[in-house]
Structure 1
Amino acid sequence: MAAGRQTSQNDAPFWEQPLASLDRAQWEALCDGCGKCCLHKVEDEDTGRIHPTNVACRLLDTRTARCSDYRHRRALVPDCLRLTRGNVGSISWLPSTCAYNLRAQGLPLPDWHHLLTGSQAAMHAGGHSVVGKVISEVHAGPIENHIIETEL
């Protein structure tokens, strides 16, 4: 069976299963590809508050919301965080719509998720990704000038 539809004994799709039961291909397929986790954040030194920005990692293709070198991203961007089953529940700045975040909380995927719709384009068309909303760090200038009030 293809990773996109593999089910367990109870015939629920893999994306409805506990994260601990997912194999590597299923884990990767769960990512909605929105690009929101690839946006820089600014931490207030006094309060520790994390502020979102509209500045994307230099590896993020801002037209597709996909990493341009996913395989080597951690070598090229040393502070790129690798999401795992073990850390996903403790990362407070993950987008509220993040599939990993939602499933870690036992919540369903959003209606626009590609595993439900069969289309990445539906997510982008619905405005649920960073496509058309962000600037690459290569062109951004001082990141403090790009703090936004709410997550994209």
Structure 2
Amino acid sequence: MTQPFWKKKTLDEMSPAEWEALCDGCGKCCLAKLEDEDTGEIHWTSVGCRLFDAGRCTCRDYAHRLEVVPDCVGLTPEKVRSITWLPRTCAYRLVAEGNDLYWWHYLISGSRETVHEAGVSVRGRVTANEDDLGEPEEYFDHMLSEEP
């Protein structure tokens, strides 16, 4: 039996299609995060990006997201290895660290719904869209006590 691509290739070796397929669709990276200027600590919020469709856990304009949202982080293998806020469950992070995907990842389960059924995604947990907020202080009302 042949090994799946994420077990036999590094992130750098993946084709663009394989790279895109690795995303589990949890939506966690599309939540606003606040960084403590003094400590560098990251605090998660339940505020979705202006392009985030919270019901579907997808980007409304994925192809143009980097132009439309200046602070959107386009993931690359290098960034995956250096970004400290990637969720512990993130498939890119798991593969970069030499770990396997979880049972609920659609490449394992065969269904894009299992990430939501397992409670791993942010579906149903987004309390605001960044366009709904006026002042930066309003994000504090949506801070989470831990990574979603």
SS at 2:43 equivalent: strand
Distance (whole Å) between structure 1 residues aligned to residue 98 and residue 133 of structure 2: 37
Distance (whole Å) between structure 2 residues aligned to residue 55 and residue 140 of structure 1: 9
Match of residue 59 from structure 1? 51
Match of residue 117 from structure 2? 125
Matched, 1:50 2:46: no
Of residues 2, 5, 16, the one that matches 1:11 is 2
Q: Specify every segment of 5 or more residues in structure 1 that has no aligned partner in the other structure, as ranges.
A: 1-9
Match of residue 7 from structure 1? none
Shift of 1:48: 1.7
- TM-score by structure 1 length? 0.89
Matched, 1:138 2:131: yes
Matched, 1:151 2:147: yes
Matched, 1:100 2:92: yes
Shift of 1:122: 1.3
Q: Specify every segment of 5 or more residues in structure 2 that has no aligned partner in the other structure, as ranges.
A: none
Distance (whole Å) between structure 1 residues aligned to residue 129 and residue 112 of structure 2: 21
Match of residue 81 from structure 1? 73
More moved, 48-57 vs 97-106? 48-57
- TM-score by structure 2 length? 0.92
Shift of 1:140: 4.5
SS at 1:27 equivalent: helix
Instruction: Please tell me whether the aligned partners of residues 54 and 133 of structure 1 are also in contact (alpha carbons under 8 angstroms).
Output: yes
Q: Could you list the structure 1 runs, at least 4 aligned residues long, displaced by more than 2 angstroms after superposition.
A: 138-141
Identity rate, percent: 51
State the Cα deviation string for residues 80-139 of structure 1 (Å, max 9, x = none): 001011221110000000000000000000110000011111111111101000132223
Distance (whole Å) between structure 2 residues aligned to residue 89 and residue 71 of structure 1: 23
Assess, with a 3 A threshold, how the Cα gap between structure 1 residues 118 and 140 changes in structure 2: closer, same or farther: farther
Matched, 1:41 2:36: no
The two structures, once aligned, show a CA RMSD in angstroms of: 1.3
More moved, 101-110 vs 138-147? 138-147
Match of residue 25 from structure 1? 17
More moved, 69-78 vs 130-139? 130-139
Match of residue 4 from structure 1? none
Shift of 1:11: 2.0
Distance (whole Å) between structure 2 residues aligned to residue 125 and residue 140 of structure 1: 29
